[in-house]
């Protein structure tokens, strides 16, 4: 990709980070000091409240703990599913730490200075995803009621260690964790990122890489936009041409691609190993040209249109009056439900400009019923609010004002909202006029613009915070086709959206967030994340 403005060349940025880390490590070890001279003090550990998302409560104090060659990781004993998942969190932590520290870091249930502890009694204090982290000279203990909380606590521990801990090769320490206690739990239950694999196809390995990056910031949901005008990305056995023909291209006319059912299961399992639930989306009744091109009978005139590789929206629609349309919907959602262990199926519903209002309502009522028939709950874009949402359905808001009356009325009547305001959380919006990637129909979305709002108070018309299920950061891919491009548009903004979904309102604030964001730059460099170096942030 072209090097964007306001951003040093990647090689120079990494060289600078490497030099800073080398200096810091040398100072910590006192390397090269002549006998009898004063030894430089070790670098101070990161403060407990320096992480993203901001923890709910922090009580610093006491001596730090240093991870050394003698450190082991203790996990709960037993053969229960919870104990096995906790052991997985321990192995995950060891997998992060071993390459950079060079330490063995054995994982077992006998003893260990880093301990992951399950305690059902913590459920009332921190819920199912929260945790407590205590650190002192003797070690670090992460306690949680459920394995998801342990995993999230592990992410906090990662950020309390120097950025070089993320490197894939041995680095110099010391590996210090500040002393004190963190008590933490999420504000919202649904903290999601969306990846559009329909406009441009992304491989299993590319999606896994994004999952790993999101996990650091305690996301718990991955929304996969699997179908659109430009491509159908999942095999449906009962309608094979959807993937074989409808998935054969992408924006710009590239080769496209699709996931086999085994590959989709692999993604679902990988996300679950990072305590993330996959929400698959089949967008209907609009955004369906790939399906219409694959099967002529889905068109009202019985004529299949050509495959589409442009970026216009709103021109396609399933044929609502035809009964074969509902055979199609039933088959697709049945097979998708069988593959998806999570509770939600996303049925789209946005930008159906070629569908009359009457037909849209009729279609969404039948599609929602099919989702329920297969034991799942509906999510739809916020246009669902105008089509009689069924009980338990969720509307995903993507407007820019928070003032659409239909959405307000639906929320006040009991339809939960996931907030994805396009001028705040759409990660594909350009940062500024000179950004070489992305779109700008919702305006330019710099880092502060993306972060500086409160989900609990966003919707107008008296919508209470209790109506907000959570926050999602969608990344549409009309202009994106590589890992570097995904990362440049997602970071830093994905970190901010994660904080808005996790941290209590009292902990939000641009000044504090900006200071904590500075520390993420060297970490992202060590992780190989090609992020946008906004001039709004004083990167070191």
Supply the residues annotated as catalytic: 351
Write the DSSP string, 386-403.
Answer: GS-PPTT-EEEE--SSS-
Alpha-carbon span 476 to 429, nearest angstrom: 9
Tokens (6 digits) for 13: 């940025």
Kindly tell me the sign of the dihedral angle through the C-alpha atoms of 474, 477, 482, 488: negative
Q: Give exposure, 120-153, as e/b (b: 16+ Cβ within 10 Å).
A: eebeeebbebbbbbbbbeebbbbbbbbbbbbbbb
Is residue 238 helix, strand or coil?
A: coil
* Token duo for residue 402: 């928070």
Q: Which of 291, 377, 301 is nearest to 328 (CA)?
A: 291
SS3 for 319? coil
* Residue 349 tokens, joined: 């519903």
The Cα-based distances of 249 to 10, 91, 283 in angstroms read 31, 39, 17
CA 526 to chain centre: 19
Chain length of the chain: 540
The CA distance from 513 to 354, in Å, is: 43
C-alpha 196/C-alpha 227 separation (Å) is 9
**What are the strands of the beta sheet with 139-144, ordered from one edge?**
57-60, 180-184, 131-136, 139-144, 114-118, 73-74, 107-108
Structure tokens at 155: 């992410």
Q: Which residues of 72-88 are buried (b: 16+ CB within 10 A; e: fewer)?
A: bbbbbeeeeeebebbbb
């Amino acid at each position: 990709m072209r090097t964007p403005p306001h951003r040093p060349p990647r090689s120079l940025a990494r060289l600078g980070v490497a030099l800073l880390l080398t200096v810091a490590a040398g100072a910590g070890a006192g390397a090269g000091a002549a006998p009898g001279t004063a030894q430089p003090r070790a670098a101070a550990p990161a403060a407990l409240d320096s992480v993203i998302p901001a923890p709910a409560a922090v009580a610093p104090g006491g001596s730090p703990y240093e991870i050394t060659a003698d450190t082991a990781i203790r996990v709960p004993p037993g053969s229960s599913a919870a104990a096995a998942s906790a052991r997985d969190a321990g192995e995950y932590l060891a997998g992060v730490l071993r390459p950079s520290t060079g330490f063995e870091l054995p994982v077992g249930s006998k003893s260990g200075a880093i301990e992951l502890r399950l305690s059902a009694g913590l459920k009332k204090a921190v819920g199912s995803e929260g945790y407590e982290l205590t650190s002192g000279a003797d070690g670090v203990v992460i306690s949680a009621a459920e394995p998801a909380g342990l995993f999230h606590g592990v992410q906090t521990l990662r950020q309390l260690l120097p950025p070089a801990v993320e490197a894939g090769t041995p680095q110099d320490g010391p590996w210090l964790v500040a002393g004190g206690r963190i008590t933490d739990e999420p504000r919202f239950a649904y903290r999601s990122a969306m990846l559009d694999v329909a406009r441009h196809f992304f491989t299993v390995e590319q999606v896994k890489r994004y999952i790993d990056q999101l996990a650091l910031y305690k996301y718990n949901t991955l929304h996969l936009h699997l179908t659109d005008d430009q491509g159908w990305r999942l095999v449906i056995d009962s309608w094979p041409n959807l993937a074989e023909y409808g998935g054969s291209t992408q924006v710009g006319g590239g080769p496209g691609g699709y996931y086999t059912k085994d590959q989709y299961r692999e993604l679902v399992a990988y996300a679950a190993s990072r305590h993330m639930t996959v929400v698959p989306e089949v967008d209907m009744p609009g955004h369906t040209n790939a399906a219409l091109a694959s099967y002529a009978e889905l068109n009202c005139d019985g004529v299949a249109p050509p495959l589409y590789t442009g970026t216009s929206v709103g021109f396609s629609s399933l044929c609502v009056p035809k009964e074969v349309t509902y055979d199609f919907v039933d088959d697709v959602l049945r097979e998708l439900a069988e593959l998806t262990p999570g509770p939600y199926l996303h049925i789209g519903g946005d930008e159906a400009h070629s569908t009359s209002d009457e037909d849209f309502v009729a279609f969404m009522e039948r599609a929602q019923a099919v989702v329920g028939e297969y034991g799942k709950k509906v999510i739809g874009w916020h246009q669902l609010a105008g089509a009689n949402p069924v009980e338990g359905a969720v509307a995903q808001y993507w407007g820019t004002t928070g003032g659409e009356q239909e959405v307000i009325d639906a929320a006040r009547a009991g339809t939960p909202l996931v907030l994805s305001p396009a001028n705040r959380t759409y990660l594909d919006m350009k940062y500024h006029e000179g950004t070489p990637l992305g779109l700008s129909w919702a305006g330019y979305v710099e880092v502060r613009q993306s972060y500086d709002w409160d989900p609990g108070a966003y919707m107008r018309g008296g919508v209470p915070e209790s109506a907000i299920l959570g926050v999602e950061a969608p990344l549409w891919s009309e202009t994106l086709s590589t890992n570097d491009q995904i990362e440049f548009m997602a970071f830093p903004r994905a970190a901010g959206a994660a904080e808005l979904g996790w941290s209590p309102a009292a902990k939000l604030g641009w000044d504090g967030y900006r200071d904590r964001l500075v520390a993420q730059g060297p970490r992202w460099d060590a992780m190989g994340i090609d992020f946008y170096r906004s001039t709004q942030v004083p990167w070191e």
